[in-house]
Amino acid sequence: MTNEKESKYQAPALDKGLDILEYLAAQSVPLSQSEIALGIDKTPNEIYRMLMSLEGRGYILRDEVSGKYRLSLKLFYLSHRHSPVDELRKAAQFPLEELADSVRQSCHLSILYMNQVMVIIHAKSPGPIALSIEEGNLFPLPLTASGKVLLAYLPTTERDAILRNDQIYKKYPKPKKDEFLASLAHIQQTGAYFKPSDLAEGVNDISIPIGKANKDGLIACLTISMLSTLNANKPINSDEILAEANKCVKKIENRIGV
């Protein structure tokens, strides 16, 4: 049934055009019509009309001398007309508010910015007493659950470069550095991190990544900041909260297409 549905809604011409754009984007040199056809497993005749169309719309450019094709800056222009952070904020706003209402705790999204954690959107708990984390605030990577999750999913070389220059991490003795790196490996294995906050007394954080399954890597981090003093008579059920957080992440990922 699934194959029938996929077949029904296929658009071969669109697929062909996208194949051409993706293949040209992956190459570092201009390519001829026959080279492109070979690269996407088509015949030169099959892609002739598509090349003409893409050139006419300004997505690719053809060299007058060699006749070879390369990408124009149009895709770059289109991708930068809207800020990725703005798009992420729009996608996350409603799911984040739903989550805060469901778990009765404040939550926020963070990204990596200038080797720090930056909060880009916050949803306050609906209760009369709530933790507020201002959007735009910057926090040190090693001291936050969000920072650890963001670090955990970075490529190893990039993560090592950040930590080498991090003033807090550099002061750690070797055993603490080893413990810190082990915690990053554990995050990758479990897909979440639960810890008391190093920055605020009586606050526990649950953090999970957004977009880790995407080929482009981690996009952001969702954190629920729980005031333990509000739950003195009722212990926090971290498994239930984590399940709700994962539902929220799925909604956000669906909205941004990862």
Per-residue pLDDT tens digits for 178-205: 999 999 999 999 999 988 777 767 778 8
d(CA 81, CA 94): 23
Structure tokens at 225: 């900041």
Whether the Cβ atoms of residue 143 and residue 253 lie closer than 8 Å to each other? no
What value does the CA radius of gyration of the chain take, rounded to a whole number of Å? 23
231 vs 247 pLDDT, higher one: 247
Task: State residue 127's pLDDT score.
Answer: 75
Which of 14-18, 50-54, 61-65, 229-233 is the least confident region?
A: 229-233
d(CA 13, CA 49): 10
Strands 203-210 and 69-71, sheet pairing: unpaired
Q: Which of 176, 174, 151, 172 is nearest to 162 (CA)?
A: 151
Chain-centre distance for alpha carbon 233: 37
Give the DSSP letter of residue 100: H
Label residue 4 by pLDDT band (50, 70, 90): very low
Most distant pair of Cα atoms in the chain: their distance: 78
pLDDT digits (tens, 9 = 90+) for 28-43: 789 999 999 999 999 9
Which of 97-106, 167-176, 234-243 is the least confident region?
A: 234-243
Give the DSSP letter of residue 90: H
pTM score, whole prediction? 0.66
How large is the angle between the packed helices 238-256 and 84-103, nearest 10 degrees?
Answer: 150
- 75 class by beta-carbon count within 10 Å (0-12 exposed, 13-18 middle, 19+ buried): middle
d(CA 172, CA 50): 58
Domains of the chain: 11-79 (1.10.10.10), 84-256 (3.30.450.40)
Name residue 208's beta-bridge partners: 222
| For residues 227-237, average pLDDT | 60
Label residue 101 by pLDDT band (50, 70, 90): very high
Whether the Cβ atoms of residue 247 and residue 226 lie closer than 8 Å to each other? no
d(CA 12, CA 21): 14
Q: Virtual CA dihedral for 180, 144, 106, 193, nearest 10 degrees?
A: -10
What is the phi/psi pair of residue 5, to 5°? -65, -45
Task: State residue 1's pLDDT score.
Answer: 43
